[in-house]
């Protein structure tokens, strides 16, 4: 599959997932907004109900007080008048003759009743009953007008006098709490709340016993007496500490769907990453096969040519020529074996850690031996190797063969990537840092670009130089180096500048650590 096709599919699927996630978030925001509006409206209705309850309670109290006063005055008048007192006694007895209860009812009147009596008699004519009915209706009307006048008088007293009374005398705060609780429950809100009562100037008149300021930034207000003058108006303020959790719980069922969408999005991104990585790995393996073909082709051709030369009878007569050809075959065979060993080692590293034969080593001696062996190869390119093995404690616990291969690989890379316009200079150093042995191998070669510096330790990776294969290799050397250093609990890093050179720094733990 082409890379552009993968990108198009990735972009389309990514946009689809992001759009779905955006729609879910928008839906949740709308639900939260709607739930907030419903909550606000329910609280306002509950506060209005509580306000009406307080007003009704005040009206009932005024009426009761007024009626009590009227009855008291009527009783006093009855005691001071010479009216007729009538007494009636009601006695309830059981079947056995015992008395269960006895009630005595006294009634009095100051004047004889002036209401017409219903006299049903032929001598008074046929209009006696209608006249009596009209009289009774007139009597009820007069009583209604009288009672209405009393109520109007009470209302006027409330209008002129109630507003001047303190709020504490007008409101029973315990009943106010009950009104608030009942109003909220009736509107579907069973949530803990706190309330307080303040006057027009904001001075606090009352607060509930368990009052807390938590959540008071979102409070609701309602006048207790809607018809009071603005200068005398008292306000009840209520807030809900658990409002945010209450609103969140109402939309929490959408959270799992968002989580699943995010999981699918992350899985999709990871899948695309794997696809690109596999595609890159395929390209690197193809490059590896091409490089391996070039690496194997040269020694095979050399061995084949040497074998044909051995068939020449003249070669058999010349011991020097025979020895030279045999040496060429031996060298090329070793070269093939070395390349095959590299591939086998890297395939082994994919399966498990390398089997290391650890022992106590003097790193300075080991590196000095590698430098002596490698000096002949460097001199062929008119180069030189400088060593500064200044580590005062060079003792490490390591595998001698693999550490030797690591130093050899890094020095061999310096030779491969030397600048054609300058003689090769290789500098090898050792020194100590707390608990560590530091090794650096620096050259003055072509260097490595910054964008390639982070990838040089990847398996099969080689810096692109077009279609040229001037430098042979599989892209396994530095991957092998990093693997061995990591298996020794060490660290390796690379520093480089184009056309200046490269520097590899290794940190290995000392034997005592």
Strand-strand pairing, 436-443 and 395-399: unpaired
Token pair in block for residue 214: 């938590």
pLDDT one-digit tens code per residue, 58-78: 777 766 766 555 555 555 555
Give Cα separations from 285 to 230, 238, 256, 290, 409 (angstroms): 87, 72, 42, 9, 21
Give the CB-side neighbour count of residue 41, counting CA atoms within 13 A: 6
- DSSP secondary structure code for residue 231 in this structure: G
H or E element that contains 492: strand 491-497
* pLDDT-flagged residues of the chain (< 50): 82, 84-85, 90-92, 100-103, 105-109, 113-121, 466-470
Q: What is the 3-state secondary structure (H, E, C) of 119-168?
A: CCCHHHCCCHHHHHHHHHHHHHHHHHHHHHHHHHHHHHHHHHHHHHCCHH
Q: CA Rg, the chain, in Å? A: 54
CB count within 10 Å of CB 243 equals 19
**Where in the chain do CATH 3.30.565.10 domains reside?**
354-509
Instruction: Give the CATH architecture of domain 354-509.
Output: 2-Layer Sandwich (3.30)
Give dist(CA 384, CA 379) in Å, integer. 6
pTM, full prediction = 0.43
Query: Could you give the 3-state DSSP secondary structure of residue 198?
Result: strand
Give Cα separations from 364 to 390, 393, 394, 486 (angstroms): 8, 9, 6, 20
pLDDT one-digit tens code per residue, 79-91: 555 454 455 554 4
Give dist(CA 282, CA 295) in Å, integer. 20
Per the listing, tokens 């460097």 go with 378
Give dist(CA 129, CA 133) in Å, integer. 6
pLDDT of residue 469: 42
Give dist(CA 439, CA 403) in Å, integer. 11
Token pair in block for residue 368: 């000095």
pLDDT of residue 224: 83
247, 29 contact by CB (below 8 A): no
455, 280 contact by CB (below 8 A): no
pLDDT of residue 468: 39
pLDDT one-digit tens code per residue, 183-225: 888 888 888 889 988 887 778 888 888 888 888 888 888 888 7
């Amino acid at each position: 599959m082409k890379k552009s096709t993968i990108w198009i599919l990735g972009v389309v699927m990514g946009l689809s997932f992001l759009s779905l996630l955006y729609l879910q978030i928008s839906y949740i925001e709308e639900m939260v907004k709607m739930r907030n509006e419903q909550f606000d409206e329910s609280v306002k209705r509950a506060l209005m109900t509580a306000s009406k309850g307080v007003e009704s309670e005040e009206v009932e109290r005024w009426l009761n007080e007024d009626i009590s006063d009227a009855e008291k005055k009527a009783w006093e008048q009855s005691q001071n008048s010479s009216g007729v007192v009538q007494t009636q006694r009601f006695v309830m007895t059981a079947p056995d003759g015992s008395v269960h209860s006895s009630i005595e009812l006294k009634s009095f009147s100051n004047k004889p009743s002036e209401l017409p009596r219903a006299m049903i008699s032929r001598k008074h004519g046929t209009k006696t009953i209608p006249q009596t009915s009209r009289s009774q209706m007139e009597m009820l009307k007069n009583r209604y007008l009288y009672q209405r006048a009393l109520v109007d008088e009470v209302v006027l007293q409330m209008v002129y006098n109630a507003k001047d009374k303190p709020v504490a005398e007008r409101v029973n705060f315990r009943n106010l709490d009950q009104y608030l609780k009942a109003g909220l429950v009736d509107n579907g809100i069973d949530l803990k709340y706190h309330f307080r009562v303040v006057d027009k100037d904001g001075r606090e008149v009352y607060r509930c016993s368990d009052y807390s300021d938590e959540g008071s930034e979102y409070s609701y207000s309602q006048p207790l007496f809607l018809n009071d003058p603005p200068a005398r108006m008292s306000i009840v303020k209520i807030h809900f500490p658990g409002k945010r959790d209450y609103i969140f719980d109402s939309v929490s069922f959408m959270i799992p769907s968002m989580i699943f969408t995010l999981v699918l999005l992350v899985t999709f991104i990871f899948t695309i990453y794997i696809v690109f990585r596999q595609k890159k790995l395929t390209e690197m393996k193809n490059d590896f096969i091409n490089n391996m073909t070039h690496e194997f082709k040269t020694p095979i051709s050399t061995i084949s040519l040497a074998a044909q030369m051995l068939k020449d009878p003249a070669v058999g007569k010349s011991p020097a020529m025979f020895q030279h050809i045999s040496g060429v075959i031996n060298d090329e065979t070793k070269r093939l074996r070395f390349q095959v060993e590299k591939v086998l080692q890297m395939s082994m590293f994919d399966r498990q850690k390398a089997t290391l034969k650890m022992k106590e080593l003097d790193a300075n001696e080991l590196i000095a031996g590698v430098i002596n062996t490698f000096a002949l190869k460097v001199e062929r390119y008119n180069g030189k190797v400088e060593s500064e093995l200044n580590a005062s404690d060079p003792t490490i616990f390591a595998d001698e063969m693999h550490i030797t291969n690591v130093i050899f690989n890094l020095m061999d890379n310096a030779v491969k990537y030397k600048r054609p316009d300058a003689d090769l200079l290789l500098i090898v150093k050792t020194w100590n840092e707390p608990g560590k042995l530091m090794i650096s191998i620096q050259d003055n070669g072509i260097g490595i670009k910054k964008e390639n510096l982070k990838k040089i330790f990847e398996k099969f990776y080689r810096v692109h130089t077009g279609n040229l294969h001037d430098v042979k290799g599989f892209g396994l050397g530095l991957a092998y180096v990093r693997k061995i250093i990591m298996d020794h609990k060490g660290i390796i890093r690379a520093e480089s500048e184009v056309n200046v050179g490269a520097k590899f720094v290794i940190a290995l733990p000392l034997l005592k650590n």
